[in-house]
Structure 1
């Protein structure tokens, strides 16, 4: 049975936990800077704000590469979440406490905001692209799409990196996580924007001041992540040991 652990302030402010927050901040900053930067760069090179097929591929590949790197550099410190939906899914499955997970969210969102503000500065004030549903796509359809693709992402995280019944499969985990994000952007980019990550959407919204559809990119990914945690936790993990009261939440 899946068990959710609330946690304590002592554990959440331990040296190991603080190192995890810093790791999540840096890794999310690296990921968002490359991901959002790829969209800005493509728009500048083509003088076209529309996401055409080559642009979609370029952005998907950039996100896949950047997430692979981000997860790899943070995996041994914080677990390499880089995403509030991943953190929630792992909390549902008992891999991280709720309280520590909330501080992960803060670190991830701050990393995304700083990355977007840095992009705005280094590009001379170019506009920061935000996530939004495609033309002819309803908000509800976009929401459902984000639920589905985030489910796929968090399920992949569980299957490759967070299943306590198996040993580490090393470099395959961040590769698989990067690949599923890239594939989902190719599939869903023209429809929902292919976010799968509330922090990834929140940073550009803050930097641009456009929060018009941000709710889609919080509610959808969080539902998808929670469902993946429930399904994998109940069906494939089953029983598990409670979250240990240690400094390591990876």
Structure 2
């Protein structure tokens, strides 16, 4: 069975852990700045508040590229989570302690807020927030986010967290970026294709608009948790104790 470790204050405030929080902050900030900024830039160029098919592709590609780079730059320090749902899924599978994971969440959410405030300052525009499309219910949005976040965290497990991954681990960042881009293409017109509570939380704080923001916490956390439980329990099996220096995604 998978093991969930609460962790200790000493481990969570060790030099290695603090470096991990800083790495998560920097990588998440750059990811959100590029991802949210791509949507703002497209709207600026087209003077159109609604993305057309070309805009959807552009935003999906921008998120995929930015996440690929963000995961790559933080992988050797923090594991390159950049996402509370990924951190939660890895905690369920015993790859990071709960206490350290909470500090990851804080770093990720603060980074997203700072990125969105910077975007507001440098562009003079308001940041777009996530919300379900007209004609879609909030429950439909939650289910969509559960499914696509499950796909993301399952990919993280299969390419990065599985101890049997072998050489496939070298393509983990690009695989993770690709699944996010693909999921945005599939879910963007319906739920917004967040998969990331921090990615949705930063724009909500910067804009002061928290309408439907709960969807982008509940859906991704359920999806990420299910992926961690299923992959960790069925395909990885029992774990040894969590190594003090291994919080890898």
Short-chain TM bin: over 0.9
The alignment's TM-score, normalised by the length of structure 2, stands at 0.98
Q: 1:218 to 1:119 in 2, by over 3 A?
A: same
Q: 1:247 to 1:238 in 2, by over 3 A?
A: closer
Partner of 2:92: 92
Partner of 1:204: 203
Once the two structures are superposed, residues 183-205 of structure 1 have per-residue CA deviations (whole angstroms, 9 ceiling, x without a partner) of: 00000000000000000000000
Say if 1:11 and 1:247, in contact at 8 Å, map to a contact too: no
Kindly state the Cα deviation for residue 248 of structure 1 after the two structures are TM-superposed: 4.0
Partner of 2:155: 156
Instruction: Note the residue ranges of structure 1 that are not aligned, 5 or more in a row.
Output: none
Quote the Cα distance in structure 2 between the aligned partners of 1:241 and 1:248. 12
After TM superposition, list the pairs within 5 Å mapping 1:1-250 onto structure 2. 1-124=1-124, 126-167=125-166, 169-244=168-243, 246-250=244-248
Kindly state the Cα deviation for residue 95 of structure 1 after the two structures are TM-superposed: 0.3
Once the two structures are superposed, residues 19-61 of structure 1 have per-residue CA deviations (whole angstroms, 9 ceiling, x without a partner) of: 0000000000000000000000000000000111111001000
Instruction: Note the residue ranges of structure 2 that are not aligned, 5 or more in a row.
Output: none
The alignment's TM-score, normalised by the length of structure 1, stands at 0.98
SS of residue matched to 2:129: coil
Kindly state the Cα deviation for residue 242 of structure 1 after the two structures are TM-superposed: 1.5
Once the two structures are superposed, residues 104-142 of structure 1 have per-residue CA deviations (whole angstroms, 9 ceiling, x without a partner) of: 000000110000000000002x01000000110000000
Say if 2:133 and 2:191, in contact at 8 Å, map to a contact too: yes
Quote the Cα distance in structure 1 between the aligned partners of 2:163 and 2:21. 22
Quote the Cα distance in structure 2 between the aligned partners of 1:188 and 1:169. 27
SS of residue matched to 1:169: helix
Quote the Cα distance in structure 2 between the aligned partners of 1:200 and 1:239. 32
Once the two structures are superposed, residues 223-242 of structure 1 have per-residue CA deviations (whole angstroms, 9 ceiling, x without a partner) of: 00000000001110011112
Q: Number of residues paired by the alignment?
A: 248
Say if 1:90 and 1:229, in contact at 8 Å, map to a contact too: yes
Quote the Cα distance in structure 1 between the aligned partners of 2:241 and 2:234. 17
